[in-house]
A and B are shown apart, each in its own frame.
Chain A
Amino acid sequence: KAGVTQTPRYLIKTRGQQVTLSCSPISGHRSVSWYQQTPGQGLQFLFEYFSETQRNKGNFPGRFSGRQFSNSRSEMNVSTLELGDSALYLCASSTGAARYNEQFFGPGTRLTVL
């Protein structure tokens, strides 16, 4: 079974631009979560989607948004990019949205904001 895939793997943008990242979960997984990883803040939860509905949201500004499609694929969007948005963005999928469901991570998208 194929793992979680994320595209693109690397992205370079300039301040003020917007960006869209894509995530394809493991086949059959209906829950998708997004995390931001930076050297200073570590791994932080962005949001979780289950059956096209946002279940939970982390403490990030409204510039960060996401959505999930009927095939469980998910996208996240960051508008008006800031230098501090440079990070590794990780997507994870799981079979369900219960806390005992393990999450499987993709390789991440490395975003650099210049």
Chain B
Amino acid sequence: GDSVTQMEGPVTLSEEAFLTINCTYTATGYPSLFWYVQYPGEGLQLLLKATKADDKGSNKGFEATYRKETTSFHLEKGSVQVSDSAVYFCALSGILTGGGNKLTFGTGTQLKVEL
């Protein structure tokens, strides 16, 4: 079945550092890929998405490129801020018999940004 593997956290960075959170996936065909962010006590917020190979999703300085050849969707940001501290989830929506939209999530990576 579909699965998502993302790097273990927590990740601790200084403000203005470069961020990479690795994400790889296993799925049949061409899934859609997503990054979600969860702040303490809240639900998930969609950060960015990509729906086909070589697509680059971007939002609020975050970027991720859909790499079919390496089955990866790594999240990057050039300069993190304290306000980026949160848990980040990589997810995919794959092909389902009969159609539909079901997200399969990675385990989440906690990011802490310090001054």
By a beta-carbon cutoff of 8 Å, the part of chain A in contact with chain B is 4, 31, 33, 35, 42-43, 45, 48, 50, 55-56, 58, 90, 92, 94, 96-108
* Contact residues in A for B108 (Cβ distance below 8 Å): 42-43
* CB-based contact A48/B44 at 8 Å: no
* Contact residues in B for A50 (Cβ distance below 8 Å): 100
Closest beta carbon of chain A to B69's beta carbon, Å: 20
* CB-based contact A43/B105 at 8 Å: yes
CA distance A58 to B106 in the complex (A): 16
Interface size range on B against A = 20 to 34
By a beta-carbon cutoff of 8 Å, the part of chain B in contact with chain A is 31-32, 34, 36, 42-46, 49, 51, 89, 91, 93-96, 98-108
* Contact residues in A for B34 (Cβ distance below 8 Å): 102
* Contact residues in A for B98 (Cβ distance below 8 Å): 55-56
* Known contacts A90-B43, A104-B46, A107-B43, A98 near B104 by CB under 8 Å: no
* CB-based contact A102/B46 at 8 Å: yes
* CB-based contact A100/B100 at 8 Å: no
* Known contacts A48-B102, A56-B96, A99 near B31 by CB under 8 Å: yes
